[in-house]
Structure 1
């Protein structure tokens, strides 16, 4: 008989203890061509979790999809060697599904409880769903857990990993503590396009805002392209500059626009994800030497982070400050949707201008045109508020520094506010000016043109209505004149139709037609030659009636009539005195 102990399932092997050498093997040479290509594929994968880059002038190393324990070990122990690159960048995709890693980073750098909870719960509260995040079906196929070690490794099956179980427990606990007020606050922040946040502290400074990205290109054949919103899709990100030459970026989970009819859902969302991550991946790729050799990068998208650094043996700390400050700046500087906004606003205004100046459209599509005008104004106002919030955010960031780069009121060089280099501050100043000149001024000009088109539309509509009223008046006048012409004839015909004794015997057809001719002729002459006389008589009678009314008001004892007479009498006396002085 078998031993009962032998019937028990074997316990899973214990996870090997993480060592520094094991972690260092995860970091690969980013200047290697194969590694560079693998990282590009990883960045385009919506299931990617994170990456960590450490770089300097001579080398750059990158690791992808680290778990929480590896991130904890890395930030505590892995940078003890002097030969390690001085600058590091930790990027987290979808922080709501990496709560443990986010909590470790927040505790390490001293995030406030509110900032930490905002990052952790942002994605959970986005849809107001009080449940833990679970694997969902995206892009038409199930989302499985992937291996931590290999980016291209397949699914692990339905069995949850211990880290995922812990993740779900944390999510359930957080959601159980969430109040209706918390949910309403999150909804307000997430629904506001121009909402921004800045959190300065002793060890870091954190900026959060909505960033715009392009829409995928419409390629469906045989389907009409519907006119989309002028405001591009948005995604929320936090950028944190820490006091140890570390930059941390958190990006909310990807949310996609509605897929147009005829487009492939998988391809459309793949393209939108590429645009959503375009700025982050643009900065990442340019940390490798392969970017300049293999990529065609527009000069407006060049990021001068790694290869502008120079080794300084006398001041090695300045190297890390310069590199992390420039990285922080280029993550903030996102022009991916700016050109589309300007071009789209010009096209929309041009099409609206043609419609406004078209007589046919004014007569048949008044409701649709008014809706387009007000929609354009609302969207331009939203964009203006968004870019104004960017400008305000930069001003608040720069206000944390004095001319020497130290925090105002605190000369401590160890805090993060004293770690933003002068070159980075100058770049932020120039970016603020470009936001004003390229975006805010352009949007204000578009708003002015929209207002002019709106006024033109209503003026033309009033003119059209005035012409219609004039035509109606002329028609009514014509009918009145015709009635004047035929009214005497009608009276005459009625007179001849009355059966009066002794008179009927004397009426003959000749009498009727002679009377008809005379009365019709007199009516015609009176209509066309005495019409103006009637108008003058009518105006004269109206003026006489007005004078009679004034006379009665002055003579009768109505309230105010005596005071009115006294006022007129005083005016007459003043006139006589003036005449006497003239003499």
Structure 2
């Protein structure tokens, strides 16, 4: 049997915080009430079976069972399923192993554009490469496993109601540490979705199961993934609750007992625990804040480009960055709409709960009347739904509107939707420079060729030149050619432009004079007639 320890003990609390952020930790169980809390880590299936058969103590009526990587602890999951009558489908899905992470080759990474780097490869070759990669990735995405669907449709979620449980499942987004990302634009602001199940049972037990994230190279990534679980766990101890930031306080163990549920100790705390595990507000706040910062940075770059010097090339990396940002915002918008739907489903399930003390049934379904969601938790879910609608979803709409406004700016339309024309003009300019260089080389060596021909003439009077005379003459002529080429070329350009403008002015003058003569002639003819 697993050894439970007093969670209010300072030493146990410190050790528990370290274990919760250790990759080797598989699970933990906390039994708590208003006055006491005990915790145990790394229970096996035998420990869990013995624990479930034991009647909870009056002082500790609430039990929280947290499991990381349930696909690696199938016997433990079987014990939970047998106790709370999980459906065969739900049990099979929970025990499913997630697919291994895809390995990307940086050299052939689709959409791997680095800021400020010109794309010098052939366009048709790149198009063929991308098409082949997209075809292979589309074929790989045809799998219909649970995790494949969850990764493909970020807002995918599930609600399962049984005789002894209410289970919700959804993706939760986790911020990736910078060290795990490369500097490609497609990775900018990327987050990792991981699936979690939250289960509220009829005996004041709350079960949380979290998808296996795979091998993590950065400890900060593990902290990001377990951040909300770590926060809720810490505040179940008096040491964590009373030292928490005021805005982060989660009243689970310290919840006031409801007078509307007499004879059912622990319902209030189990319901609030279920809510706080669902409401990961920190991740939402950091996500929206990151969107705002990236949008403001792109706005500054686009507006600054309106005053860009003509000799500076436009920053074409803004196009994929703005596209990726819009895609991320739309994904999160769909995810938050899924959360909104989950809150509605939970509230609908508990809407027929009789609040009075004479009847303690809930409206989860006619066959699940033992699963009770306290009124305080229902109120919190209602407020969460309002926040999702009024704050989060409205903010994502504003982000998308600002993104569209940036696309419609004159500078963006002028410089960023004519990239193909710009590339064509750049290619033409390169060809022009090459032709100009060849012409200059021809002009440079033409006098030398004439001089060499002069020294090669077979005339008796011209046969007395020595090699020194030839090389001296060569040096003088090549020097004069270089001076004429690089110093008089600008003068010739100026003379050419002056003559061109003079010709245009003369043409305009002659055209005006001719039209004036025509008008006078027409008037004279009119008078004569």
Partner residue, 1:451: 404
Partner residue, 1:502: none
In the alignment, structure 1 residue 355 sits paired with structure 2 residue 311? no
The normalised TM-score by structure 1 is 0.60
Note the C-alpha offset of 1:26: 1.4
Relative to structure 1, the CA distance from residue 447 to residue 534 in structure 2 (aligned partners, 3 Å threshold; closer, same or farther) is farther
- RMSD over aligned CA atoms reads 3.7
Distance (Å, rounded) in 2 between the aligned partners of 1:97 and 1:289: 32
In the alignment, structure 1 residue 421 sits paired with structure 2 residue 384? no
Distance (Å, rounded) in 2 between the aligned partners of 1:522 and 1:55: 95
Q: 1:230 is paired with a residue of what secondary structure?
A: coil
Partner residue, 1:245: 204
Note the C-alpha offset of 1:184: 4.7
Distance (Å, rounded) in 2 between the aligned partners of 1:339 and 1:442: 11
Partner residue, 2:345: 396
Matched ranges for 1:29-428 at <5 A: 29-76=6-53, 78-79=54-55, 82-83=57-58, 85-123=60-98, 125-126=99-100, 184=145, 186-216=147-177, 228-255=187-214, 265=217, 269-292=218-241, 295=243, 297-310=244-257, 315-317=262-264, 319-357=265-303, 358-359=305-306, 360=308, 364-365=313-314, 367-404=316-353, 406-408=361-363, 410=365, 414-416=369-371, 419-428=372-381
Note the C-alpha offset of 1:37: 1.4
Partner residue, 1:136: none
1:214 and 1:336 in contact (8 A); partners too: no
Note the C-alpha offset of 1:189: 2.2
Partner residue, 1:503: none
Q: What are the Cα deviations for residues 298-352 of structure 1, in whole angstroms up to 9, with x where unaligned?
A: 22321100112449799230x3211110000000010232222222222211221
Relative to structure 1, the CA distance from residue 309 to residue 393 in structure 2 (aligned partners, 3 Å threshold; closer, same or farther) is same
Q: What are the Cα deviations for residues 149-173 of structure 1, in whole angstroms up to 9, with x where unaligned?
A: xxxxxxxxxxxxxxxxxxxxxxxxx
1:126 and 1:187 in contact (8 A); partners too: no
Matched ranges for 1:546-565 at <5 A: none
Distance (Å, rounded) in 2 between the aligned partners of 1:35 and 1:461: 62
1:57 and 1:311 in contact (8 A); partners too: no
Distance (Å, rounded) in 2 between the aligned partners of 1:328 and 1:102: 19
Q: Which one has the largest radius of gyration?
A: 1
Note the C-alpha offset of 1:185: 5.1
Q: What are the Cα deviations for residues 25-77 of structure 1, in whole angstroms up to 9, with x where unaligned?
A: 7121111112111111110110101111111112111111111011111112x
Note the C-alpha offset of 1:105: 0.5
Relative to structure 1, the CA distance from residue 126 to residue 425 in structure 2 (aligned partners, 3 Å threshold; closer, same or farther) is farther
Q: 1:248 is paired with a residue of what secondary structure?
A: strand
Distance (Å, rounded) in 1 between the aligned partners of 2:514 and 2:287: 65
Distance (Å, rounded) in 1 between the aligned partners of 2:377 and 2:284: 21
2:352 and 2:362 in contact (8 A); partners too: no
Relative to structure 1, the CA distance from residue 313 to residue 55 in structure 2 (aligned partners, 3 Å threshold; closer, same or farther) is farther
Q: 2:322 is paired with a residue of what secondary structure?
A: helix
Distance (Å, rounded) in 2 between the aligned partners of 1:32 and 1:298: 21
1:231 and 1:341 in contact (8 A); partners too: no
The normalised TM-score by structure 2 is 0.66
Q: What are the Cα deviations for residues 131-187 of structure 1, in whole angstroms up to 9, with x where unaligned?
A: xxxxxxxxxxxxxxxxxxxxxxxxxxxxxxxxxxxxxxxxxxxxxxxxx98755542
Distance (Å, rounded) in 2 between the aligned partners of 1:527 and 1:272: 72
Q: What are the Cα deviations for residues 511-567 of structure 1, in whole angstroms up to 9, with x where unaligned?
A: xxxxxxxxxx999866424359779x9xxxxxxxxxxxxxxxxxxxxxxxxxxxxxx
Distance (Å, rounded) in 2 between the aligned partners of 1:113 and 1:522: 90
Relative to structure 1, the CA distance from residue 356 to residue 70 in structure 2 (aligned partners, 3 Å threshold; closer, same or farther) is same
Q: 2:43 is paired with a residue of what secondary structure?
A: coil
Partner residue, 1:434: 387
1:286 and 1:292 in contact (8 A); partners too: yes
Distance (Å, rounded) in 2 between the aligned partners of 1:522 and 1:110: 95
Partner residue, 1:501: none
Q: 2:387 is paired with a residue of what secondary structure?
A: helix
Relative to structure 1, the CA distance from residue 198 to residue 526 in structure 2 (aligned partners, 3 Å threshold; closer, same or farther) is closer
Note the C-alpha offset of 1:392: 1.1
